Structure 1
Amino acid sequence: MTSGRLPAVRAVRSLALTATAVGAGLVAHWHAGGPTPHPVALLVLLALLTLPVARLSVREVSPVVATVVLGAGQLAVHLLGMAGVGEASTVAGPGHVHSVVLDGTPSSGSAPGMLGAHLVVTLVLAAAWSRGERILFAVASRLRPPAVPRWSVPAVVAVTVPAQAAAGTTGPWRATGRAPPLPER
């Protein structure tokens, strides 16, 4: 099944994937104490990410595409938050933590902790999204009406005529297995 003929379904799927990407980045940034971008900036980011994803989601979204979209959404939210684009929160930009210990408490550290957390979230969400896409397309293929058979014209059956006509044939020529003579000019 392709949802290329159903633009509303494709738009909802695309919007859901990009909202998941932006939402994951927003929650992660907020959880780490970082500034969250203004809601208008998030809506613009959502629109900018949805347009190419809608183009890619004509067919089932592959795990690779889902991973790239989810990672790009989280990176874009992070960059918008660090740039201070219309900050909605009161937390200062450099005050957020880039390292998280497994028990959820922030620690002083550098980017590998946050990068690892973003990577894990991206891979888990991409796996869940891909599984959901497979289920959606399997259900849709089951619900689709059966294909209408193509009607074809049967091949013309060649009829063979014996070269000699039956006895007693009437006509201006004799049946000799040849074509009739051409009219004179």
Structure 2
Amino acid sequence: MFTGIIEEIGKIRAVSRGSAKSQLVVGARKVLEDVHLGDSIAVNGVCLTVISFDKESFTVDVMNETYLRSSLGNLRIGNEVNLERAMAAGGRFGGHIVSGHIDGTGRIKGTRKDGNAVWYEIIADNSILKGIVEKGSIAIDGISLTVAAVTPISFSVSIIPHTLEQTILKDKRAGSTVNLENDIIGKYVQAFLTKPNDNNEKIWEVLYG
């Protein structure tokens, strides 16, 4: 489990993709301070397992399903990535509950400045948009953010300078692809209400009258 608070920006050192095995080697510093084999590290919001490491980098396996659902397939040597270790027991929740299991990708439609903040509008499929609510939480490339606005084809977030400085979002432009993970609590509620259940009618009546 993660919180969506990025710990550092890492850099891709090697990419190996084949039919039998696909791996990424990621250069890092902070997330290696107490790393162990089998640890989970979120790379641009995708939960990946450390299979080897040294003093300057760690290696992870990447499944084909992960490439299909995320933007990891676009990574090349030298690309920067957001990194976050799994939350330690007793740690603070600075963001929201993030599983590291990507729901899909979105595309940045455009950005605009608003005082010292920057708004990002992101186009996404309806399967993702239906789980997004204004003032709710969304993880973009692993960053815990608050949804500022929602339209039938997109949603927007407003980013403060600190978040831009500490993440790779500052380098994203119109047309860039980003990983998206909806709020897990909302996903459970949505799944519960849409599954066939005799009590669903009563729940909808209570919620919506």
User: Normalised by the size of structure 2, how large is the TM-score?
Assistant: 0.24
Greater fraction of residues in strand: 2
Q: Highest CA radius of gyration, 1 or 2?
A: 1
Greater fraction of residues in helix: 1
